Chains A and B, each alone.
Chain A
Amino acid sequence: MRLAWRGTELRLLIPLVILVPLGFAVTHIAVSNALDPGPLGLAIAYVALVLAAHLALVMLGHRGDQLLLPLAATIGGVGLVMLNRLPQDLTGMTLFGVQIGMAGTQLAWFALGLAAMVAIAVFFRDDGALRHYKYTWAAAGAVLLVITFLFGAEVNGARLWLHFGPVGFQPGEAIKIVLVVFIAGYLAENRALLSDALRRIGPVKIPPLPYLLPMLAMFAIVMGIVVISKDLGTALLFYGIFLVMLFVATGRRSYVLVGLLLFLAGSFAAYQVFAHVRVRVDNWINPWADPTGSGYQTVQAIYAFGRGGLFGEGLGQGLPLISGHLPIPAIQTDFIFTAIAEELGLVGAFALLALMAALVFRGLRIAILARDDFSSLLAVGLIASIGLQTLIIVAGNAKLIPLTGITFPFVSYGGSSLLASFVVLGLLLSISHRSAMETAAPMAEPSSGQAS
């Protein structure tokens, strides 16, 4: 295989060499209150891993997008700085009798994720296996969902964990990707039918009933997740991804309208029927009704945002302990954005969100440049999953919408989530690689490092 020089990627990865160790050092100095940068092993290992992934792509002649990896690595780097700053005994793993702290565990997952990304980006050259067996994939996803329901462990009122010995795994993350593959396959095949035959009922155009069925089926699946696994965040995410892909495939606003109406009706019904939904909504409307009980997490998060202000409390200087504990439960996963907003302030949080926006923009660009409907829709769905997930959790942290527990991609602590995010990145890289190889000469040569 020929080498493919990835100059832009390398140039954008260089700042990480300073950024991540600097973050580690600042945190340690601030916490220990002595001029001691502390152990930088994890930070250096992280940068080395990312550079190794870059090198692997170069060696294997990959011509895919050059901004995806640096963007994800920068976002992940900020996340790792924050995870390293939090108390390491919040969670962690014992492997072969050795206790690894939280940041160490996360780093191990980063290694696995980057390896998966490179493998998928390089060896996944033909999307037939995804496209042709879409119903098989959908069935596999459904089976996974059922298994989780039957054998899953319940944590915080949601049933979304499967345990294999010491390693826990969230099937929802795998189902998310499988779902995007299925919807992309279905829509690529039927988009003409879905976008043409519309019937006019009153002021809105409605597609004929047979074509509405997949949408209703999707709605049923989502409601099933809400009822069975009580996982509101995932349900909201799946439904959002579906609507985005449907709109992109057909260009029909009426589908989105119908989808949103169904969503409103479903939410209302869920609020009426399920206690766990009602608790979330009530906490959103007024967390101060029960500030030490069910509203505690949200109230503490709002205080944390307030303490952070514009420039933040400083790395390692925020998050005061309340009777020996961090004030916000699940700060390393669902509320990692709150922790970043407190210590780096609005400026830091904004930078993180801007990086995420750039990543989403890049994903949409890959979708536009993709050579066929399936690849294009796949790219849209995958990047929508990352973008919507960020929106839902950030808005939940900031009390813009009811809090639903999902992870901040590349930032939150959690192996399944991190692995899934890197699989998404790998698939996007492979799609952009194929369109770069198939397009005529001017596009096949991505801008070199010096060009910009």
Chain B
Amino acid sequence: MTGEALRILILVAQFAFVGLLYLVLFAFARSLLHDLRSAERTQEAAREGIGRLTVLESPEDEPPVGRSIALGPINSIGRNVNSTIFVEDDFASATHAMLTFRGRAWFIEDQGSTNGTFVNGHRIDRPVALSYGDEVSVGRVRMRLEH
């Protein structure tokens, strides 16, 4: 084989090596992406799974009565627009209460709100465990925890 042909062969094999390396890289990227997507889906499924808050009473209609809000593991409730559950009510504080799913149970904790957080009509002064069906009041907004 002539030197010229050999040089071309080396060049081609060389690019085949790097090309293959990139093919492998591409396969890895696809696997990573696939896993990310499926993780996202399971997370969404899990979020739908742990619970919902259904709005029973809301004078300002934000959130509107009848809406059912899917809950994550940690939910802030308040008049701050960045709250997970944004409540437009003059009697609610900016950061009013925290609704969290810990281990196997739901807990609600007042965040030092002016008018207090009520569970089934009783004002709470410490973190309280909730059962499905319990009613939570923040300001004049009343919501029910559902599965």
Contacts and interface: CB of A to CB of B under 8 A. Distances in A.
Contact of A8 (B13, B16, B31): B31
Interface string A25-40: 1100110011100000
Given A29-B10, A30-B10, A443 B42 contact: yes
A347 B63 CA distance: 54
A358 B42 contact: no
Interface string A151-177: 000000000000000000000000000
B38 to A, nearest CB: 6
Interface string A244-263: 00000000000000000000
Contact of B28 (A12, A33, A317): A12
Interface string B1-42: 101001001110110111011111101111110110011001
Contact of B11 (A18, A314, A442): A314
Contact-residue bracket for chain A: 35 or more
A18 to B, nearest CB: 6
Contacts of B6: 29, 33-35
B28 A451 contact: no
B24 A15 contact: yes
Nearest to A70: B28
Nearest to B28: A358
- Interface majority SS on A: helix, strand, loop or mixed? helix
A97 B10 CA distance: 37
A22 B20 contact: yes
Contact of B13 (A26, A34, A452): A26
A29 B35 contact: no
A348 B9 contact: no
B13 A348 contact: no
Contacts of A22: 13, 16-17, 20
A19 B22 contact: no
A63 B22 CA distance: 27
Contact of A451 (B11, B21, B34): B34
Contacts of A30: 10, 14
User: Which of A25, A71, A312 has most B Cβ within 10 Å?
Assistant: A71
A274 interface: no
A317 B25 CA distance: 24
Contacts of A442: 42, 45
A74 B24 contact: yes
Contact of A19 (B11, B20, B34): B20
A12 B18 contact: no
Given A71-B28, A315-B17, 17 more contacts: A12-B28, A16-B24, A23-B17, A25-B13, A26-B10, A26-B17, A29-B6, A30-B10, A30-B14, A78-B21, A314-B11, A317-B10, A344-B17, A348-B21, A355-B25, A362-B32, A451-B34
19 contacts: A11-B27, A16-B24, A19-B20, A22-B16, A26-B10, A29-B9, A30-B10, A35-B6, A67-B31, A70-B28, A71-B28, A317-B10, A347-B18, A347-B22, A351-B21, A351-B22, A358-B29, A358-B32, A447-B35
Interface of B: 1, 3, 6, 9-11, 13-14, 16-18, 20-25, 27-32, 34-35, 38-39, 42, 45
Interface of A: 8, 11-12, 15-16, 18-19, 22-23, 25-26, 29-30, 33-35, 67, 70-71, 74, 78, 311-312, 314-315, 317, 344, 347-348, 351, 354-355, 358, 361-362, 365, 442-443, 447, 451-452
